[in-house]
Each structure stands twice: as structure tokens, then as C-alpha cells.
């Protein structure tokens, strides 16, 4: 399998780029189902240590030298990261419902979750089309109960950064222990 055919060789998601400022400076970022590392590269280039998990040895080989890489079939085996926490957790184009609690639980105090994947309706326009891979309305919000939601979208994307698709996406933070309310910028210049 060539690097060109691996998931994760396209440019970083516009959603991830837009909300990456929520990850504390220098904080370690976990990319779940990282593919060939498009988001690992994005965060590493911005000074973040990175950790990627994927079941594909070929995909992880494309990420060599970026940071910590774990080969694991997270749908068949145990969560390979135990109770580790990360200042940033990124998930794109991936859904395995049994892992949602572990993924949300991996966000450290003061850290951010940036998640974007396919939603119900996608079956009318393309793949994935099986219900187990499509979020239902409000499902991602429910999975993130306990995090502070900074941004959430659920609907049709008209091909701004790829083919048109139905998506659900969230940027959320785990409240830290600092004094006063945290300020999470909605736009960064």
C-alpha cells in the first residue's frame, strides 16, 4: 500500500486547524486512528509532542519520527493508553462507540477534544453508509457531557474542504483548576 492510498495523507482538517489553539501550548496531543499522520504533523510543527494510535503498520510507518506511535486494533483489544491523559485529543473520520468514554476520558484537565466524523444522512450521498459508522443527532454532544463545549456542528458540509458530506463535530475542553472562568477564543488571528 503506497503512502498516497493511506488515510491521513490529505491536508489537515479545517475543523482541527481552526480549533487547534484550544490545546495548551506545548501540550501532548493524541490522534486516535491517526492514519498517515496529517494531524500529527500539524501539531508537531506547532511544537506539540504527539502520540498516534492506528492499527495499520503502513500508516504508522508514514508517521515515523513524528512522536510516539502505537500499533493497536482499538476495536478488538483493550484501550492501549490506560489512564493516560493528553492536553489535546483529536479524532477525525472515525467512530467506534464503545471507545467514546475512553476517548473523552483521555482529555486532561485544561485540555481539548477536537472531534469530527460522519453523521446520519451520509448514507444518502456516499460512504460510510452503515449506521454503526454514523453519529445520530446530538450523539457527540451526549458523549462529551462533562466537557465544556466551545463549538459544535451537526449537518451538511458543502465540500469546502473535500467532497460534500454529513458531519458532526465538536471542540470541547475539560475545565481546568485555575481561578475564574476560562477564556476560549472562538477566532484566532
φ and ψ of 140, to 5 deg? -65, -35
Is 179 inside any structural domain? no
| Mean pLDDT score across all residues of the chain | 91
Q: What CATH number does the domain containing 71 carry?
A: 3.40.50.150
Are 87 and 24 in contact, with CB atoms under 8 Å apart?
Answer: yes
CA-to-CA dists, residue 55 to 32, 33, 118, 169, 188, angstroms = 10, 7, 20, 23, 34
Task: Give the whole-angstrom CA distance, residue 3 versus residue 39.
Answer: 15
For position 159, what pLDDT does the model report?
73
Is 181 inside any structural domain? no
Lowest mean per-residue pLDDT among 9-23, 56-70, 134-148, 159-173: 159-173
What's the pLDDT tens digit per position in 168-183? Answer: 999 999 998 776 677 7
Structure pTM?
Answer: 0.91
Domain membership of residue 25 as a residue range: 3-173
| pLDDT above 80: residue 27 | yes
Q: Looking at the 3D structure of the chain, how many domains does it have?
A: 1
Is 188 inside any structural domain? no
Amino acid at each position: 500500500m503506497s503512502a498516497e492510498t493511506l488515510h491521513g495523507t490529505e491536508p489537515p482538517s479545517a475543523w482541527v486547524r481552526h480549533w487547534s489553539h484550544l490545546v495548551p501550548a506545548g501540550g501532548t496531543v493524541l490522534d486516535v486512528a491517526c492514519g498517515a499522520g496529517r494531524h500529527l504533523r500539524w501539531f508537531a510543527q506547532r511544537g506539540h509532542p504527539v502520540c498516534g494510535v492506528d492499527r495499520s503498520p503502513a500508516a504508522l510507518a508514514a508517521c515515523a519520527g513524528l512522536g510516539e506511535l502505537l500499533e493497536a486494533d482499538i476495536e478488538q483489544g483493550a484501550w492501549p493508553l490506560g489512564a493516560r491523559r493528553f492536553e489535546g485529543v483529536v479524532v477525525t473520520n472515525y467512530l467506534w462507540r464503545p471507545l467514546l468514554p475512553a476517548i473523552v476520558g483521555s482529555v486532561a484537565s485544561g485540555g481539548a477534544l477536537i472531534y469530527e466524523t460522519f453523521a446520519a444522512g451520509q448514507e444518502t450521498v456516499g460512504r460510510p453508509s452503515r449506521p454503526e459508522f454514523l453519529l445520530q443527532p446530538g450523539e457527540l454532544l451526549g458523549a462529551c457531557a462533562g466537557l465544556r463545549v466551545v463549538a459544535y456542528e451537526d449537518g451538511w458540509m458543502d465540500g469546502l474542504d473535500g467532497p460534500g458530506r454529513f458531519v458532526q463535530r465538536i471542540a470541547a475542553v475539560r475545565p481546568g483548576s485555575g481561578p475564574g472562568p476560562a477564556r476560549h477564543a472562538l477566532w484566532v488571528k
